[in-house]
Amino acid sequence: MPGVGKKSAERITYHLLRLHKNEAAKLSDAIRALKENVRYCSVCYNLTEEDVCEICSSPRRDQSVLCIVEQPRDLIALEDAGVYNGLYHVLLGRISPLEQIGPEQLTIDALVQRIREGSFEEVVLATNPTVEGDGTALHIMSLLERSNVNFTRPARGITSGNLIELSNRDILHDAMTCRQSAKHLEKE
């Protein structure tokens, strides 16, 4: 399983072996239900038990803003932060030539169609700040360069509470390249 090392796998195995037969059956049923009931949303590719997820079907969401993320767990992190109220599109990965992952293996075609047919004013390219994430964002922008949307990226740089001297070169580069107005300090 991804993210589970040898020691963790051993602990999980021993735990499962010690489970009472009823508990093991419940776990087995839960895994079966997961595989049978959870699917990708037909609109945004988030995980859902319905054809269309709760976010896509909510009239309370800002229909003019679309946030593109790599994985459902990225969407969950943004939702948990509680600072975004628009719609999402989950790519189900990122372009990574070294791993033989191209645009055709992601949900990019559906995304392009969705943006061209929709009435989005802003598209937030919230792919991870990595070479692959940035490359994926650039690829999407190139496909939609003639569209009438404003592309944005989440800010990057030094997080509140961190020290400049302890930040790495890439963080400092992003922080200085993506400077923002300090007017917000006056309000605090």
User: Phi/psi of residue 70, each to 5°?
Assistant: -80, -45
Give residue limits of the domains in the chain: 60-179
User: Phi/psi of residue 20, each to 5°?
Assistant: -65, 150
Predicted TM-score (pTM) of this structure: 0.82
Secondary structure class of 52 (helix, strand, coil): coil
Per-residue pLDDT of 108-133, as tens digits, reads: 999 999 999 999 999 999 999 889 99
| pLDDT at residue 188 greater than cutoff 60 | no
Per-residue pLDDT of 154-175, as tens digits, reads: 888 877 788 878 888 888 888 8
What six digits make up the tokens of 53? Answer: 């997820």
Q: Which class is 60-179 in CATH?
A: alpha beta
Q: How far apart are CA 124 and CA 150, in angstroms?
A: 8
Please tell me what DSSP assigns to residue 46: -
Per-residue pLDDT of 83-92, as tens digits, reads: 899 999 999 9
Number of C-beta neighbours around residue 182 at 10 A: 7
By the 8 A CB rule, do 156 and 174 touch? yes
Residue 160 has a pLDDT of 78
H or E element in which residue 113 lies: helix 108-117
Per-residue pLDDT of 36-61, as tens digits, reads: 999 999 999 999 999 999 999 999 99
**Predicted confidence band at 66 (pLDDT cuts at 50, 70, 90)?**
very high
114 burial class (0-12, 13-18, 19+ CB within 10 angstroms)? middle
What average pLDDT does range 127-152 have in this prediction? 93
User: Phi/psi of residue 55, each to 5°?
Assistant: -70, -50
CA angle 42–95–75, rounded 5-degree value? 45
By the 8 A CB rule, do 38 and 47 touch? yes
